[in-house]
Structure formats: C-alpha cells, structure tokens
C-alpha cells in the first residue's frame, strides 16, 4: 500500500514538473524555428537582442508586434518606428499564425534563456570544446599510432575475409560442388 502511494506521488510530481516547464520548451522550439535566424537572446544580430524584452515592452505590445510588425509601425508607434529605423528598415516578418499563448511561451523561453545565460543561437548540441576545453580532435599530425593501427586492423580484417572466401572455394572444389 505504501509503495502504491509512493509511486503515485512520484508520478504526480513528475507530471507537475513537466507541465511547469512546458511553455519554456514550446517557446524554445518556436524561437529556434521562427526567430533565431534574426534574433538572439543576448546578442544583436539582424534584429535586437531579446533579453529583457518583457521588461521593456508590455505583453500586448509584443503580441501585436509579432503578429504584424509593419501594422504597428504604420500606426505610428514610437518604439516600433525607432526599432525599424535602428535596424536598417529591415521589416520583421509577420507571424499571424502564432497564438497569444505561443508568443507568451516564446517570451517565457527568452526570460529563461536570459537567466541561465543560454543563448538560442548557440548550437543545438554541445560542442566538445565547451565540454572539455583540453579536448583536441584526432589529427594525423598528432596521432600516427592510432591511424596506423586503425589501417592495420582494417587491412587485417580485409585479408581475413579474402582468406575465408578462398577456403570456402577450396572446400567446394574438394566436395565436387563447383
């Protein structure tokens, strides 16, 4: 009985923790697909760095701008016009298909990435240089022994296969199957 209660509590805890992180994960996915080509969380690219965007602008402004940046600019919004001018009048593509919740999850992702220092434009995988600063990839200049042993093993295996084929052919000849 105690085991069942413990198992139920564990499953409930994992479920609640996965739901609490879901908007950030969804926002990260959308950000990578839609925003990362022009925006970074901490660096200025084609568009502005987005860290702290929820502190500089209201959520309604962000939603309206993402849905239709040119409409906001044409309405005369001072902040939108200033951004448009600052970034060489390069228009941000409109994203009318994103729901308000999608945009809020993107902002949640930006907030999370800014706090952890994880930039969205970083590689979606861990690079060896960051994991192990002393790591050096294999190169012929530094690893002669490795490459010679590798080539030796490949040649040995190829020779063994050829020898096995020859033995099999000799067995067939001796049995009169050829």
Domain positions in the chain are 22-122, 140-178
Name the architecture of domain 22-122: Orthogonal Bundle (1.10)
The C-alpha R_g of the chain, in whole angstroms, comes to 29
- d(C-alpha 44, C-alpha 40), whole Å: 7
pTM for the whole structure: 0.55
* Confidence band for 113, pLDDT divided at 50, 70 and 90: confident
Q: Write out pLDDT tens, residues 124-178.
A: 555 554 555 566 666 777 778 888 899 999 999 999 999 999 999 999 999 887 5
**C-alpha distances in angstroms, 91 versus 70, 80, 161?**
7, 11, 63
Q: Write out pLDDT tens, residues 67-91.
A: 888 888 888 889 888 888 888 888 8
**Are the C-beta atoms of residues 109 and 101 closer than 8 Å to each other?**
no
Kindly report the CA angle at 55 between 53 and 60, in degrees rounded to 5? Answer: 75
Q: Write out pLDDT tens, residues 18-73.
A: 445 687 788 888 888 888 888 888 888 888 888 888 888 888 988 888 888 888 88
- Give residue for tokens 């080539």: 151
Distant-in-sequence, close-in-space partners of 51: CB < 8 Å, separation ≥ 6: 41, 42, 110, 113, 114
């Amino acid at each position: 009985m105690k085991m069942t209660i413990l198992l139920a509590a564990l499953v409930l805890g994992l479920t609640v923790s996965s739901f609490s992180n879901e908007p950030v994960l969804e926002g990260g996915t959308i950000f990578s697909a839609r925003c990362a080509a022009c925006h970074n969380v901490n660096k200025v690219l084609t568009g502005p760095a987005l860290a702290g965007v929820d502190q500089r602008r209201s959520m309604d402004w962000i939603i309206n701008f993402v849905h239709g940046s040119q409409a906001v600019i044409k309405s005369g919004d001072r902040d939108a016009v200033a951004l448009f001018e600052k970034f060489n009048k390069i228009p941000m593509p409109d994203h009318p298909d994103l729901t308000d919740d999608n945009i809020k999850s993107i902002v949640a992702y930006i907030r999370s990435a800014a706090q952890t220092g994880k930039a969205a434009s970083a590689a979606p995988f861990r690079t060896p240089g960051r994991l192990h600063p002393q790591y050096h990839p294999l190169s012929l200049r530094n690893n002669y022994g490795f490459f010679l042993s590798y080539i030796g093993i490949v040649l040995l295996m190829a020779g063994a296969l050829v020898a096995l084929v020859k033995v099999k052919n000799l067995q067939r000849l001796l049995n009169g199957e050829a």
